[in-house]
Structure 1
Amino acid sequence: MPRYFLDHSATVVLLLALTTAALPGLAASPEGMVAWEDGMSTIVQAPPGRGAWYPRLLILPDGRWLAAYDTNIGAAHGHTLIQVAESNDQGHSWRPLAVASFGHEVADAANPSLALGPDGSVFLAYRLVRPGHYEIKLSVSRDGGRSFRPLSTVATGTRGLWEPAIGWVKDELWVFYSSEERAPLYPQAICLRRSRDGGVNWEPEELVTRNPRSRDGMAAWAVVGESVYLAYEATDQGNPFAIRMIHSNDGGLTWSEPHLVYRPADSRKRASAPALVALAGPDGPSILVVAFQTDEDNRLASGDQFTDVKYVYSLDGGLSWSSAFPVLATVWPDQWAGLVLSDPAHGEIALTVTAGNRLVVRRGRIPPPPDSNS
């Protein structure tokens, strides 16, 4: 049996072998290396006048799948809340499980991010917004996502706080988020707060990206050994949005200069909303994968309303990147894709996107690399 060393990010965990040489018998195709199953399963179908957005998946040790998303189904006064659903059959069917946000009666709760704690607790970060008041909130479940309680407030502001991305680095809980609080010096920057007591208390805010010419947002991150990699969308590459990456080798004390991950050749087109995953092997270099939505193949219109989902990969720690491969070549508005590893031993993955007024899951498989000891 091949051995893998998996790293966890705020949004996705993915096992990927990305060279044809490492995948004997798997021919290259327009879809890249992933063999996608036909059809998709539905997490939720919103009724007319309602919607569900921004899905994120988490696989629990007991085999259950959780999906978190924001929705106005069941929300009061036109607001949105965070709903968690569960699947007991590997994502084929779903049922609502618990509401994970608090304060949504008077504000919009959105942008959920899931992480599994060392003790099996489920942590869920989200943003809570009402006019002139912005918060990054944290909820926790001690019963496998069946119920949630409020745990803490990660950050507060008056200009704009968005898109938390949660995960663990050793015994610290980290939350990255997009902040407009330092405008006009930084139009929007990626900030970090960390907790050393399981999310109860938080250390002072750290400014991670520092580009006065860019509106940086939609952070996604992963840990490989002692390195932390962070991907985000930026606005300073000549396109409406492009994907950039930075990394830290000292626990987030210092960060590298940004590197370009992907931008469309047509400067009118965008690549946005990245999701980052990482794999470290016992003998070879780490592999980084970034999925994102892009309108570059749409000849009729531009913008996040006209995107499909692609991915690129790096085999050298982010120094160079592949061309882009389709993940889901169907155009839907604002797909905000998430990925999760559903079966490490067999390289099975699941993709979830916003598909109109539905949230859907599509399953795929990437054959694992051959066992070097066999």
Structure 2
Amino acid sequence: MKERWLVFVVVVTSLAVGVLSLNTVLGSAPVHAQGNGWSDPVWLSTNTPSSWFPDVAADSQGRVHVVWDSAYPPKGPDDSGVGTTMYAVRRDGEWSEPNDIATHLPSGVSRPALAVDGMDRLHMVLRGGGVRYTQAPAADAWSAQAWWPSHRVSGLNTTYTPDLVVDGKGMVHVVWEEWVPVELSPEEIFLQRRSPYLADVFYRRSPDGGRHWDPPVNLSNTPNVGSGRVHIALDGGGGIHVGWDEGWDRTSLEGEPEAVAYVHSLDGGTTWSEPLIFTETTDTYAQMTVETNGTDGVLLVWRTLTSNRLLYAWSADRGVTFSDPRPIPGIFARPWISPFDAYDMATDGSGNIHLVAVGASAVPTPTTPLALYHLAWNGERWSYPEIVAWYPGPENPEWPRIAVEGGRRLHVVWFTRPEGVSSEGVQVWYSERDLGLEITPAPTWTPTATPPSPPSPTPPPGLHAITPTPMPETFAPSPVESLYTEMDDLQRLGIALLPVVGLLVAVGVVLLRRR
């Protein structure tokens, strides 16, 4: 009889451990919100131990292209490991094996950004010995040999995250952040313990599809303040729109986030507006992103650090004037624990602007489960936030990127980072959603004369004038709290069984001792 009770205790204890393990596994896996049209997340970075900072593009043949940073582990105590750029493509619904396409690039490349042109060529910029540019036919991009030898488009100083777009004329437009000398004396640098260099935002264009390049242009011109997290977008008239953060320097880690900035060029990059600075005395702004609706509308989105709100400003005149900043309803930004996250936007064939952002449906705490959300802006109001992937466990989504295929299908990539981890175990994921819209052909840009911009009033130092535009505000409570997922019943079952299992174990131990 004693042996039977021992078997009983072992079985019940194993059951308890299994239930706990089930909840642990479920808690760390991404939970897809069923019923909102998003596909289950697909793990892309299957053959490298550490992968992050992806980007995505879709071509006219329905192929989906994804690039990301990966790192191979050190081979010894004196080896720091190798950073490279991985690429995967989805053709006819099937994903390729990820491939290293950086074999011809400098070692330690990182932070790739991807764009596709009207001829189905992929254009990529990335960081590695400066900001470097390369391209390949979309049909052959899986092979490293298909990519051009890279060309450095930045200066010789330290650089960080680049971004790019290709317009309807085949002109390539690139932005990046690069160190410039601070305007301080050596004594001031020493006494104030300042970095001798801080990043500014630069722009450069190629008028012939990446073969030749015009001289670079400094867009921010704030040498004593760090600039970074730069984004670029195109409008339907060939205008270029750029947004970035001011205050914190990514490379030196000097400073703190302060404000977000925006500039535009309505003549294809020849002349630029003065920076428009959005700032607030009672809060701090960061994580600026910019997108257009394909015509005259320009949308800016960023976050606050204290109140954890996502804010937006809208322009109906190609960025000449903007509305006052307003909170996006139904979503809150993640706690400001990691400074490396970002938002991204893309426009569908009907002119709706789609935003992807990591956050929560209520004011978050450091332990609040985070989700990757999708929202859409139609020029007047926001859609309900919907969950692309939810992470109730120790992993958090980060750095989402979005692309639109054929005007109707959304493709989103992101990476997951275990809580408290810098880079170990990070992985890249993908999800898609069909919007059910009519497929629209790729827009063709017809050159037209651009009228000169009206003169702007002289703003106070460091602040460009903002002209408020009345903005409708429609808000209803977000339904995301009530979204059902396939994990809910399993987690409830596990939680419900724990007391029963515990009681059975206790009874078994007592009976065993009596015998």
SS of 2:209's partner is: coil
Alpha-carbon distance between aligned partners in 1 of 2:311 and 2:402, rounded to the nearest angstrom: 11
Shift of 1:72: 0.6
Q: 1:106-117, aligned counterparts within 5 Å? A: 107-117=107-117
SS of 1:146's partner is: coil
CA contact (8 A) 1:100 1:139 kept: no
User: Which residue in 2 is equivalent to 1:52?
Assistant: 51
Q: 1:87-236, aligned counterparts within 5 Å? A: 87-88=90-91, 94-102=95-103, 107-128=107-128, 134-144=129-139, 145-147=141-143, 148-169=146-167, 170-180=169-179, 182-185=180-183, 187-224=198-235, 225-235=237-247
User: Which residue in 2 is equivalent to 1:245?
Assistant: 262
Q: Alpha-carbon deviations, 1:39-71, whole Å to 9, x = none?
A: 533222576xx3111110101111111111011
CA separation of 1:242/1:87 partners in 2, compared to 1, >3 Å: closer, same or farther?
Answer: farther
Which protein is richer in strand relative to its size? 1
CA separation of 1:359/1:265 partners in 2, compared to 1, >3 Å: closer, same or farther?
Answer: farther
Shift of 1:166: 1.8
Q: Match for 1:353: what amino acid?
A: W
User: Which residue in 2 is equivalent to 1:361?
Assistant: 430
Which protein is richer in helix relative to its size? 2
Larger CA Rg, structure 1 vs 2: 2
Q: Which of residues 265, 283, 290 in structure 2 aligns to 1:276?
A: 290
CA separation of 1:328/1:293 partners in 2, compared to 1, >3 Å: closer, same or farther?
Answer: same
- TM-score, normalising length: structure 2: 0.52
Q: Which of residues 284, 288, 297 in structure 2 aligns to 1:286?
A: 297
Q: Size of the alignment, in residue pairs? A: 304
Q: Match for 1:177: what amino acid?
A: W
Q: Match for 1:221: what amino acid?
A: I
User: Which residue in 1 is equivalent to 2:189?
Assistant: none
User: Which residue in 1 is equivalent to 2:328?
Assistant: 324
Shift of 1:209: 1.7
What's the Cα RMSD here? 3.5
Q: Alpha-carbon deviations, 1:53-111, whole Å to 9, x = none?
A: 11101011111111110111489851211111122366xx643343332455x631011
- TM-score, normalising length: structure 1: 0.69
User: Which residue in 1 is equivalent to 2:367?
Assistant: none
Q: Alpha-carbon deviations, 1:257-277, whole Å to 9, x = none?
A: 22245779544xx522x4432
Q: Match for 2:132: what amino acid?
A: K
2:365 maps to 1:335? no
User: Which residue in 2 is equivalent to 1:64?
Assistant: 63
Q: Alpha-carbon deviations, 1:310-347, whole Å to 9, x = none?
A: 573525244124423543322767822211124524xx
Shift of 1:215: 1.3
User: Which residue in 2 is equivalent to 1:81?
Assistant: 84
Q: Which of residues 412, 424, 431 in structure 2 aligns to 1:351?
A: 412
Q: Match for 2:293: what amino acid?
A: L
User: Which residue in 2 is equivalent to 1:25?
Assistant: none
Shift of 1:198: 2.2
Shift of 1:36: 6.4
Tell me, which stretches of 5 or more residues in structure 2 are unaligned? 1-35, 184-196, 249-254, 332-356, 360-369, 372-394, 418-425, 439-515
Alpha-carbon distance between aligned partners in 1 of 2:54 and 2:200, rounded to the nearest angstrom: 23
Tell me, which stretches of 5 or more residues in structure 1 are unaligned? 1-34, 129-133, 299-308, 370-374
- Sequence identity (%): 18
CA separation of 1:61/1:135 partners in 2, compared to 1, >3 Å: closer, same or farther?
Answer: same
CA separation of 1:97/1:353 partners in 2, compared to 1, >3 Å: closer, same or farther?
Answer: closer
Shift of 1:157: 4.3
Higher relative contact order (CA 8 A, sep 6+): 1
Alpha-carbon distance between aligned partners in 2 of 1:262 and 1:337, rounded to the nearest angstrom: 25
